[in-house]
Amino acid sequence: MGIHVGDQISLGGFRDRPNEDRMGQSMGHAWVIDGATGLGEPFMGQSSNSSSSDAAWLAQRAHEAFTRHAAITDPRALLGCAADDLVAAFEQERSRDLKEPWELPCGAFMLASLGEAGLTITWSGDCRALVQQGDGSVLSFGATPVSEEAEAALVARLGRGGDPARRYAQPEAMAELRAGRGLALAPGNAFILAPDRGFLNHLCQATVATRQASLLMMTDGFAAAELRYGLFAGPEAMMHAARGGGLARMGDQLRRFEHETDPDGVLKPRWKRCDDATAIWLQINA
């Protein structure tokens, strides 16, 4: 009875940088977290439990907080406690004062919680969840083809040519990315996961009235296989592949496209050749 992990994978996007994704499952909850790549010099102090980037710090501290408070059944209450932990950790571990809102460590997350009403999905940002119900129908939450097309259009406009790994560094691109993130991280009113309780006011949430289902949760780097690259023809195909061949095989297909088919991001414009890609496959029985 409850939420059971059937398969999981987390692929780093770069050999010389930390994986800035996290995933976990505890009690009646499961989650994926995607730290947003920093847009400036590292800002957070380091400790044995954090890593070498602000995004990895945010993902790790959020993962620890979700685990710590997993006995809380209500997802909004759990996230409230996690937000308090993030704020406290930020104040304790930051190495300097915040100069610009865009410097604040931030990210996206997807949290699945099993309760009396069924399976509740709570999220912020561009992670993705697919829920296959007993009748075979698949519901999707989070990132969509439309949201991914909007990012691809921005990359095509600003990230002109060259190695995708260097597109962030172009002055025009960096200025626009910082401006957009600054708006999303307005002090006291953050729209995405951050050490700022404001993100609690902008959560997305949906409840599926089911007690038995399959669930695939993923960061946008893994969801790219469907949403950006078209390697899987929709949510049903993603669920079929996860059940049939497993997440490792899906990850291989993803990386082959990024490294061999379109290494320079010409066919599918993107900021990075490869993003961190994390997914967790779960069975829901209650």
More confident residue, 280 or 154: 280
CATH number at residue 206: 3.60.40.10
Average pLDDT over residues 97-123: 95
Average pLDDT over residues 251-256: 98
- For residue 118, pLDDT over 50 is answered with yes
Closest by CA to 272, choosing from 4, 31, 14, 92, is 14
pLDDT band at 196 (very low <50, low <70, confident <90, very high): very high
For a pLDDT cut of 90, what percent of the chain falls above it?
Answer: 74
Q: What pLDDT is stored for residue 159 in this prediction?
A: 66
Taking only the tens place, the pLDDT of each residue in 137-180 is: 999 999 998 888 888 888 888 766 566 667 777 888 899 999 99
pTM: 0.94
Whole-angstrom distance, CA of residue 227 vs CA of residue 151 = 11
Give the total number of structural domains in the chain: 1
Gyration radius (Cα) of the chain, Å: 18
Whole-angstrom distance, CA of residue 259 vs CA of residue 229 = 13
Taking only the tens place, the pLDDT of each residue in 42-64 is: 888 654 344 579 999 999 999 99
Q: What pLDDT is stored for residue 1 in this prediction?
A: 64
Average pLDDT over residues 246-255: 98
Q: What pLDDT is stored for residue 169 in this prediction?
A: 73
Contact present, 227 and 145 (Cβ < 8 Å): yes
More confident residue, 269 or 251: 251
SS3 139: strand
Q: What pLDDT is stored for residue 48 in this prediction?
A: 39
Q: What pLDDT is stored for residue 147 in this prediction?
A: 85
Contact present, 15 and 87 (Cβ < 8 Å): no
- For residue 271, pLDDT over 90 is answered with no
Task: Name which of 1-15, 37-51, 178-192 the model is least confident about.
Answer: 37-51
**Mean pLDDT value across the chain:** 92
Q: What pLDDT is stored for residue 2 in this prediction?
A: 87
- For residue 93, pLDDT over 60 is answered with yes
Domain hosting 64: range is 2-285
Average pLDDT over residues 229-250: 96
Q: What pLDDT is stored for residue 285 in this prediction?
A: 87
Closest by CA to 273, choosing from 135, 153, 167, is 167
Residue with tokens 């089911």: 210
Average pLDDT over residues 253-282: 93
Average pLDDT over residues 247-258: 98
Task: Name which of 76-80, 158-162, 182-186, 251-255 the model is least confident about.
Answer: 158-162
